A and B are shown apart, each in its own frame.
Chain A
């Protein structure tokens, strides 16, 4: 077979076939167009402002490594003027993070970015190993998931940073949309399509600059740029349901590569139909403000999954309560809208320990129990009594789990 030439430069040999449009590209043109598209996402959604400090949630894996590399390139090329730092979470699972944290440390040198590693022990007073010691292996993914969901926000807060970017890609978003569709959870589906999520409660905004990037292209970008990343599996098994959604997405991609972005777009369109919710499509089509969904970010899962798979009666009960919590939060936060163009949020409402007065938190709130939605929030949305994190219950999910843990803390541990 004679080599195919690149569709852009017509001189170099094509090495990449783009899943979204079947375009055949050489290495250099692929790298450039990948970066240009992320730049387009960033500018059309107005993700950053000049002088903003942005923490990159860095795991050492492919997505966050590509994100760090691309953001460094674009920040320099287009003069965003943002201050990038790498933020890594150490769950405290002996041996599990060693290699990935080593990778992140190398990335920090390679990209000349400061690195902050925050441990679960610092954030919660418990390492995952200590959690497992106390509750056993059953259901620990639930803990890991809940803790991880808040960890980046809490870590950023410790550093006084108000914006965390994560490496979620189009496949991740499509997978989450499918899962929520299959669960019949439209409010959550709506939130999962947002490129920006955040909550006043945590005062930390989250965004996904790689939302429209195919996982395949992320891997190819990492390969052709020879990026240094680490691949791992959670040592605990991932949630079966998410695994199935993942397989489905990959099988669909195999027969119809555009399916992934099509699911993302369908999700965005469906989100617009959810009462009281707004969603964003690529910012260039229609300049609607992006929705800021709640901070309970369901696609930032523990151990690579959204929620741990609970087993056993006690864990199931715990899980149920967590879900009710989430549903209530979801229903309340759907219409919380702020403009994407973020000005530094006033910090005066935060007290030193992170508690914020309830009434100042939410700018706009939908009437709970919108007709047609079978969701009636049990309680008004508030903040966690203990830590000030957004919560519909007295205690946020993390503090609820911590309370149970602390009761069972073995006497010997200091």
Chain B
């Protein structure tokens, strides 16, 4: 990984950061937490405080902005994705891609699948 630029930025910098577009999908019952909508197209700043945006930030963003349901604990538990929710990054298990540290790329497809709902 390239060295991380930790230089403090001006607050107004937000507008200068290019955006990336990603597709987020929910299934296995998780869609119920996200307005019963399976697919969400998101546009996010490519970097955050100078470092590329990671899945960890995406999860926070989803929880704080996309999720209307108040039961946040069904998605995030102890500041991490709730155990039992699988993440596929372009169809690959995120465990093969560095999990929360994975840096999002433009055009990524991120799928969250719950294993916790009725079988």
Main secondary structure of the interface of A (DSSP, over half): helix
Residue-wise, chain A 1-28 has the 8 Å CB interface mask toward B (1 for contact) of 1001000000001111100000010010
With CB as the reference atom, state the residue of chain A lying closest to B32.
Answer: A233
Chain B interface residue count, Cβ-Cβ cutoff 8 angstroms? 24
Complex Cα–Cα for A250 and B114 (A): 11
Complex Cα–Cα for A171 and B86 (A): 15
- Are A17 and B93 within 8 A (Cβ)? yes
Is there a chain B Cβ closer than 8 Å to A231's Cβ?
A: yes
- Are A14 and B92 within 8 A (Cβ)? yes
Chain A interface residue count, Cβ-Cβ cutoff 8 angstroms? 36
- Are B96 and A231 within 8 A (Cβ)? no
Complex Cα–Cα for A233 and B29 (A): 8
Known: A14-B92, A15-B92, A231-B27. A250 touches B116 (CB 8 A): yes
- Are A216 and B115 within 8 A (Cβ)? yes
Is there a chain B Cβ closer than 8 Å to A368's Cβ?
A: no
Is there a chain B Cβ closer than 8 Å to A159's Cβ?
A: no
Is there a chain A Cβ closer than 8 Å to B118's Cβ?
A: yes
Cβ of A215: which chain B residues have Cβ within 8 Å of it?
115, 119
- Are B88 and A231 within 8 A (Cβ)? no
Is there a chain A Cβ closer than 8 Å to B83's Cβ?
A: yes
Within the complex, the shortest CB–CB distance from A261 to chain B, in Å, comes to 16
- Are B83 and A64 within 8 A (Cβ)? no
- Are A233 and B98 within 8 A (Cβ)? no
Is there a chain A Cβ closer than 8 Å to B113's Cβ?
A: yes
Known: A62-B28, A251-B83. A231 touches B114 (CB 8 A): yes
Chain A residues close to B by CB (< 8 Å): 1, 4, 13-17, 24, 27, 59, 61-64, 167, 169, 171-172, 215-216, 218-220, 223-224, 231-234, 246-247, 250-251, 253-254, 304
User: 8 A-B pairs, CB-CB below 8 angstroms?
Assistant: A15-B88, A17-B96, A62-B115, A62-B119, A231-B29, A233-B32, A233-B118, A251-B83
